[in-house]
């Protein structure tokens, strides 16, 4: 199978590889996929509590080149976005950007799932921390 | 000598044709072009002579008689002819066939077809090392069993089945024994007499010969095996396989067999040394590497390993100047991980992480050193990227994690 230049670029120079502190209240962690299925993505965001903007995003992925590229690209896109903007990222945009062939669309779906899972984790932490009605300082 | 890229290390898929084979074949495309079935002129006689020489070369490699060799278009056809030919010819004796779960598709899909036609097929599981359990074979036999078909050596994990023991069991019960010897022929010693094989498939392109030509050994004595022909036509090949013979291909197959016969012992030792060197280097530099399949009963040129926590296709992508293959789903047309590795029961995750190295006649030590270093480098890089390796290092038991399967 031939890979697009963009997939190759992300594979050869993955952006934002690494891990953030899961216990940090401002960090949301999403882990999706399963080893038996051949792909697992861990995607983490760190949200600035003052501005609500994603300051940092990191990933680690077990999966094919397209899965690595999809999650690498996702971290690039997440940085600088608000949580709500991040929620609007669609897998089809990842497909288009990376020119993924039909058999690799599931990689982009997984990346979207990972974004959603990371945000859901962050929001769950936020709710716990912030009683309804309280003012975040 | 400097390295030439890409490096070919996928000898179980196919092999480069030996120049000596090519040289033997060339006159038969243009100058000696006769039809081997033409009985009344020199063109035909020359072609026939070349075909008979090849039959002898093949027979010598496997301890058979030249009359027992039937030419085909390759092992897919040989396997089809063997299974369907026996099933149809011996249908009045019984309708049960025994094979194994790790056979090549040319066997498995033929068996599926026979099931549609009313035959019953037992697909023996294999043990975790890839070998069949002889007791399970015995237990599977019924008074309706007419054929046991078990491959000599596996095309993915290279494990060599206990052919002689299987043959003994078959013989005791008066059941025919077919073996797909595509991967073993010319690589390890085979003797159809000593091994007790009744029918055996080989193909040219896995033994440094041409593609599109193969043979079926069909025993003539003790017992005399009869096969129902699968194509009707001129009655060539003792009526078992009609069609004008592919003389250049047949010459090539014969020459390939003769070269293997002469060079097998030394080549086997050399390749086993190189294969072990590759294995030792990988194990010395990397943790969590698993060998798939029995290491003792194995072809000398095969290595199949899983690099845990690294997905196979991403590994292939990183070693793109090396031609190997993976059992990962991402590299298969069906998007299923290798059924052979799954049959070992080690779990799909190890199948996704597997790489098959197939060394061959033209593999050099320099290439092995390069491939080992490259694989080690890429595996390390991908493990830095792998959330599973990170969890493993943190001591997380991955089998206890709730995954979001999709
Ligand atoms: C074990 C085995 N059997 C059969 C075949 C089919 O052989 P051919 O390509 O000659 O049809 C192959 C090769 O793909 C093989 O590895």
Centre of ligand 1 to C-alpha A30, Å, is: 44
Question: Would you place residue B405 in the very low, low, confident or very high pLDDT band (cuts 50, 70, 90)?
Answer: low
The reported pTM is 0.94
Whole-number average pLDDT of chain B: 96
| Residue B323 and residue B358 in contact, taking contact as beta carbons nearer than 8 Å | no
d(CA B291, CA B259): 31
User: A3 contacts in B (CB within 8 Å)?
Assistant: 317
Q: Give B48-51's long-range contacts (Cβ < 8 A, gap of 24+).
A: B50/B247, B50/B250, B50/B251, B51/B245, B51/B247, B51/B250, B51/B251
Into how many domains does chain A fold? 1
- The reply to whether A129 falls in a domain is no
Burial of B308 (0-12, 13-18, 19+ CB in 10 A): buried
Q: What is the tens place of the pLDDT at every residue in B248-277?
A: 999 999 999 999 999 999 999 999 999 999
The DSSP bridge partners found for residue A62 are A40
Residue B157 has pLDDT above 60, yes or no: yes
Residue given tokens 């073993």 in the structure block? B184
- The reply to whether A64 falls in a domain is yes
Please compute Rg for chain A using Cα positions.
15
Angle ∠(B140,B75,B339) on CA atoms, nearest 5: 55
**Average confidence (pLDDT) over B387-400:** 94
Of A54, A83, A100, A107, the active-site residue reads A107
Lowest-confidence region among B4-18, B71-85, B278-292, B328-342? B328-342
DSSP B95: -
- The reply to whether A130 falls in a domain is no
Task: For ligand 1, atom 7, name the residue with the nearest CA.
Answer: B75
Residue B339 has pLDDT above 70, yes or no: yes
**Residue A107 catalytic?**
yes
- Which of A11, A65, A103 minimises the CB distance to B335? A103
- Using the Cα atoms of residue B278, residue B279, residue B280 and residue B282 in order, give the sign of their dihedral: positive
A–B: how many Cβ contacts below 8 A? Answer: 88
**Average confidence (pLDDT) over A60-76:** 97
Centre of ligand 1 to C-alpha B357, Å, is: 17
Domain extent at residue A85: 5-124
Q: Evaluate whether ipTM surpasses 0.95.
A: no
Which residue does chain A place closest to B349, by CA atoms?
A: A36
Residue B54 has pLDDT above 70, yes or no: yes
Domains of chain B: residue spans and CATH: 7-12+264-396 (3.90.1150.10), 19-260 (3.40.640.10)
| Residue B356 and residue B327 in contact, taking contact as beta carbons nearer than 8 Å | yes
Q: What is the CATH number of the domain that holds A22?
A: 3.90.1010.10
Centre of ligand 1 to C-alpha B368, Å, is: 25
Q: Would you list which residues of chain A are within 8 Å, Cβ to Cβ, of chain B?
A: 3, 11, 14, 17, 19, 31-42, 60-65, 67-68, 103, 106, 109-110, 113, 117
Whole-number average pLDDT of chain A: 93
Q: Which of A14, A10, A17, A9 is nearest to A58 (CA)?
A: A17
- The reply to whether A132 falls in a domain is no
- The reply to whether A131 falls in a domain is no
Q: Determine the number of helices (DSSP H) and then strands (DSSP E) in chain B.
A: 14, 13
Instruction: Look at residue A134 in the predicted model and tell me its pLDDT.
Output: 54
CB atoms within 10 A of CB B23: 11
Task: For ligand 1, atom 8, name the residue with the nearest CA.
Answer: B75
- The reply to whether A134 falls in a domain is no
d(CA A119, CA A84): 9
- The reply to whether A70 falls in a domain is yes
d(CA B135, CA A41): 44
**Residue A64 catalytic?**
no
Q: What is the tens place of the pLDDT at every residue in B196-217?
A: 999 999 999 999 999 999 999 9
């Amino acid at each position: 199978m031939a890979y697009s230049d963009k997939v190759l670029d992300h594979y050869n120079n993955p952006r934002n590889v690494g891990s953030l502190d899961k216990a940090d209240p401002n960090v949301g962690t999403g882990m999706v996929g399963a080893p038996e299925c051949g792909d697992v993505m861990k995607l983490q965001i760190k949200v600035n509590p003052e501005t609500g903007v994603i300051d940092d995003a990191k990933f680690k992925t077990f999966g094919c080149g397209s899965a690595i590229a999809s999650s690498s690209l996702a971290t690039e896109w997440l940085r600088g976005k608000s949580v709500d903007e991040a929620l609007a990222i669609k897998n089809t945009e990842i497909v288009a950007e990376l020119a993924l062939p039909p058999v690799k669309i599931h990689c982009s779906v997984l990346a979207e799932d990972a974004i959603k899972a990371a945000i859901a984790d962050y929001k769950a932490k936020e709710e716990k921390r912030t009683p309804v009605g309280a003012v975040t300082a | 000598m400097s390295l030439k890229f890409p490096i070919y290390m996928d000898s179980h898929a196919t092999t480069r044709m030996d120049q000596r084979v090519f040289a033997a074949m060339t006159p038969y495309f243009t100058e000696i072009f006769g039809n081997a079935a033409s009985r009344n002129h020199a063109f035909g006689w020359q072609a026939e002579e070349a075909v008979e020489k090849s039959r002898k070369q093949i027979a010598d490699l496997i301890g058979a008689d030249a009359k027992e060799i039937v030419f085909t278009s390759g092992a897919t056809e040989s396997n089809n002819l063997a299974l369907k030919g026996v099933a149809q010819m011996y249908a009045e004796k019984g309708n049960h066939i025994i094979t194994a779960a790790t056979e090549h598709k040319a066997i498995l899909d033929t068996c599926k077809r026979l099931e549609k036609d009313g035959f019953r097929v037992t697909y023996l599981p294999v043990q975790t090392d890839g070998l069949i359990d002889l007791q399970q074979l015995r237990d599977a036999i019924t008074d309706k069993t007419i054929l046991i078909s078990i491959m000599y050596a596996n095309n993915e994990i290279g494990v060599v089945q206990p052919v002689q023991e299987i043959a003994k069991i078959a013989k005791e019960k008066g059941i025919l024994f077919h073996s797909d010897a595509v991967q073993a022929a010319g690589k390890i010693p085979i003797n159809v007499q000593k091994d007790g094989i009744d029918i055996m498939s080989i193909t040219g392109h896995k033994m440094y010969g041409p593609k599109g030509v193969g043979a079926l050994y069909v025993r003539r004595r003790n017992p005399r095996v009869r096969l129902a022909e699968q194509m009707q036509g001129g009655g060539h090949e003792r009526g078992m396989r009609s069609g004008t013979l592919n003389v250049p291909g047949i010459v090539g197959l014969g020459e390939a067999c003769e070269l293997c016969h002469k060079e097998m012992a030394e080549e086997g030792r050399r390749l086993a040394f190189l294969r072990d060197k590759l294995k030792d280097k990988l194990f010395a530099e990397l943790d969590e590497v698993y060998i798939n399949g029995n290491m003792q009963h194995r072809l000398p040129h095969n290595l199949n390993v899983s690099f845990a926590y690294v997905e196979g296709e991403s590994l292939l992508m990183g070693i793109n100047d090396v031609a190997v293959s993976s059992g990962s789903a991402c590299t298969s047309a069906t998007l299923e991980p290798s059924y052979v590795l799954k049959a070992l029961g080690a779990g799909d995750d190890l199948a996704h992480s597997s790489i098959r190295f197939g060394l061959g006649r033209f593999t050099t030590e320099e290439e092995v050193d390069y491939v080992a270093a490259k694989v080690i480098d890429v595996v390390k890089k991908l493990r830095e990227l792998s959330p599973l390796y990170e969890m493993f290092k943190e001591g997380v038991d991955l089998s206890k994690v709730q995954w979001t399967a999709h």
